[in-house]
A = this chain, B = another copy of it.
């Protein structure tokens, strides 16, 4: 039976046959030789996920002072049923991610179709042909118990195998640039030893040809500036030896806008790996601490968001202060503290723990329960309540549902036997909670609602008029504002129309 990989849009792509695989190897060599003859260096990007696919297009889009491409880019994705579809999709010039950033389809079309210097493959032998590998393998933290991030760990099995593949193929002069967010210590303690081991097996003298390993983390943000957040933003980098550092500096300088966003070099890869996990932990802590003040504010008639605005007037010292909300989602703040905390024992065998960082993950992961508390106070029971959840992505005006706090909200409401309906204008399917259908029309979720939860700050929700919303409900639901999405005027209008309104950190509206 032919194996197929199914894209999110439902289109089926058969995995390559053995004959096709043989052809592919020959083709890769041919392309690479042609591109080298044109004076281009050859780059592979390992892993065509959320970061890798756009990074690959950015590398391919880089030009020299004459406007000619500097690199040819082979994007590599393993031939799994889950992910293979990305290869043919990219090779048709279409990005494998949806985004509100218009530059995403443009840069894929420009590099794949026009410049023809970006192509995806699933053949491992591609690594033998390249000068640079950018590692963008997905690496997640596992949190085995809800609200107990201290038990979290990082399963690096797949990551190690990915690096081992590189060790089996790359030429000694090839620079391996780890871009994946990794536990501090990974380049020194995992990547370098595996490459050394595989080099030695291949008869390469690692005294003469030590593996060239560098680290530079991305600071990508989904949304309207997705491509720019990779290309036009400050980067930190480091390497395991002077040659790696210089190759990394040269590569990043070719690819990124380092004139406007100068590079920062750190002493060693431990430092740059630590920097990434610390900067996200910093934000995670800053969010978590707002919840305790929000709860206090709710009980003493205070609007924590106006307090926050007052505090943030102090630019440079207080303007990073974040806001309480339904909770924290996405792929960084929820896991990076766990990666770093795990690394202390697992990679360095040192004592200690990152208490503030880990506590913040626990507070943030369980934050949705506070919204349920706000609802519980207004009803004798959650059982059978009709609840409309507006927003299931983790970021406003973005359709990304990874680690969305709405998932926790919906799961716990359903545990309490509420009848939950979910809406999101940007989300077609909710892979992390497949049993919930995500509606795109408010008319499918609002009628008869007892509670309407403004969970995410999508523009559509901020703009809807109370009378229009209530006309669809045909009830006077409890309105719950999870993060200051409704103005005081809007809240007063809801109240005037007979609704109760409650909100995270919004003590001033409690009657």
Contacts and interface: CB of A to CB of B under 8 A. Distances in A.
A292 B353 contact: yes
A85 B281 CA distance: 50
A69 interface: no
A363 B352 CA distance: 14
A295 B344 CA distance: 10
A267 interface: yes
Question: Main SS of the interface on chain A?
Answer: helix
Interface string A283-312: 101101100110111011111101101110
A264 interface: yes
Interface residues of A, number: 61
A291 to B, nearest CB: 9
A282 B321 contact: yes
A271 B506 CA distance: 11
A483 B282 CA distance: 19
Interface string A470-511: 000000000000000000000000000000000000001000
B355 A234 contact: no
Given A267-B302, A300-B348, A302-B268, A285 B321 contact: no
Contacts of A234: 313-314
Nearest to A320: B320
A316 B311 contact: no
A356 B354 contact: no
Interface stretch (A58-66, A272-280, A325-333): A272-280
Contacts of A292: 352-357
Contact of A320 (B270, B303, B319): B319
19 contacts: A219-B314, A234-B313, A266-B306, A266-B310, A267-B301, A270-B301, A270-B302, A271-B303, A274-B293, A274-B300, A282-B286, A282-B318, A289-B357, A292-B353, A296-B350, A296-B352, A299-B348, A300-B350, A320-B320
